[in-house]
């Protein structure tokens, strides 16, 4: 597992979304590593990490993160910050490794499982991407990741993420897509997740809309909810300043 490990202090574990890599957290790592140890891995099958063919479940990703903390000799509880698929993994990390957590930051993610149709689409995408390559995924995902405001920065980010996706091994994309298709419904677990949580969502997120994420925050016993203005699904990358400010306030209050 390839990992970017920067800074000193209480650890924050950043878990990227699908089908990206650790670089989506660069604005948070650059800021927060002044006061914290920021650990941003490439998940199994993404970035520079090795690929597992077939299927990788959210449980396996969560166990990978626990093993990474062992390898880095991090024994103190961490704050886990996950976006989208990173949030799906976070639910499993809470269930399987709760003793390693002191807080959760959930960005633009969902607790509901895929519908039958959505799961079928993920399985089809997995087969198609292995056959035709990652450009299919880039074309499918990129229009959904940002707000509708036009800017040079937004265009640059889309170009950058296209390069990231095109450089990703199709087998890794397919394995994660199959794993997401069978993920469990996290909603029954939320009330038992008692660690402090920050729930953030881009104002214009069409994948995990603000009302849905507000429901997650309401269900969690100790959660703060923040809507990030002028942002889509990738709020930490599109508008990093308010995201970083929200994280700093959360960490200071914990």
Domain ranges of the chain: 3-253
Sheet-wide strand order for 37-41: 3-6, 37-41, 11-15, 78-83, 101-107, 197-202, 223-228
Closest among 177, 169, 205 to 18, alpha carbons compared: 177
* pLDDT at res. 254: 65
* pLDDT at res. 183: 97
* pLDDT at res. 153: 80
Give the model confidence (pLDDT) of 4-53 as tens digits: 999 999 999 999 999 999 999 999 999 999 999 999 999 999 999 999 99
Our measurement of the distance from residue 16's CA atom to the centroid of its chain's CA atoms, rounded to an integer in Å, reads: 4
Question: Does residue 150 register a pLDDT over 80?
Answer: no
Q: 119 in helix, strand or coil?
A: helix
* pLDDT at res. 152: 77
| pLDDT band at residue 231 under the 50/70/90 scheme | very high
**Percent of the chain whose predicted confidence (pLDDT) is above 90:** 96
Question: Does residue 70 register a pLDDT over 70?
Answer: yes
Q: Which residues contact 139 (CB under 8 A, 6 or more apart)?
A: none
Please give the average per-residue pLDDT across 102-121, as a whole number. 97
Pick 3-253's CATH classification: 3.40.50.300, 3.40.50.1820, 1.10.760.10, 3.90.230.10.
3.40.50.1820
Tokens at 96, concatenated: 């399987």
Closest among 218, 204, 198, 234 to 81, alpha carbons compared: 198
CA distance 123 to 192: 31
| pLDDT band at residue 167 under the 50/70/90 scheme | very high
* Burial (CB count within 10 angstroms: exposed 0-12, middle 13-18, buried 19+), residue 203: middle
Give the model confidence (pLDDT) of 242-254 as tens digits: 999 999 999 998 6
């Amino acid at each position: 597992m390839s990992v970017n490990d920067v800074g000193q202090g209480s650890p924050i574990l950043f878990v990227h979304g699908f089908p990206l890599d650790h670089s989506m957290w660069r604005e948070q790592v650059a800021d927060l590593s002044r006061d914290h140890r920021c650990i941003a891995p490439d998940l199994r099958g993404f970035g520079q990490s090795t690929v597992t063919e077939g299927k990788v479940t959210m449980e396996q990703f969560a166990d990978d993160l626990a093993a990474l903390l062992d390898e880095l000799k991090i024994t103190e509880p961490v704050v886990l910050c996950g976006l989208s698929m990173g949030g799906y993994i976070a639910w499993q990390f809470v269930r399987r490794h709760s003793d390693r957590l002191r807080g959760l930051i959930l960005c633009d993610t969902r607790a509901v499982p895929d519908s039958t149709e959505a799961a079928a689409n993920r399985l089809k995408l997995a087969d198609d991407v292995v056959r035709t390559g990652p450009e299919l995924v880039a074309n499918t995902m990129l229009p959904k990741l940002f707000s509708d405001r036009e800017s040079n920065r937004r265009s640059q980010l889309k170009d950058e993420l296209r390069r990231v996706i095109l450089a990703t091994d199709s087998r890794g994309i397919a394995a994660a897509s199959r794993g997401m298709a069978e993920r469990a419904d996290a909603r029954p677990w939320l009330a038992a997740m008692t660690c402090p949580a920050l729930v953030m969502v881009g104002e214009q997120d069409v994948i995990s809309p603000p009302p849905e994420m507000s429901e997650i925050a309401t269900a969690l016993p100790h959660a703060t909810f923040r809507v990030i203005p002028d942002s889509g699904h990738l709020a930490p990358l599109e508008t990093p300043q308010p995201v970083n400010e929200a994280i700093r306030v959360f960490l200071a209050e914990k």
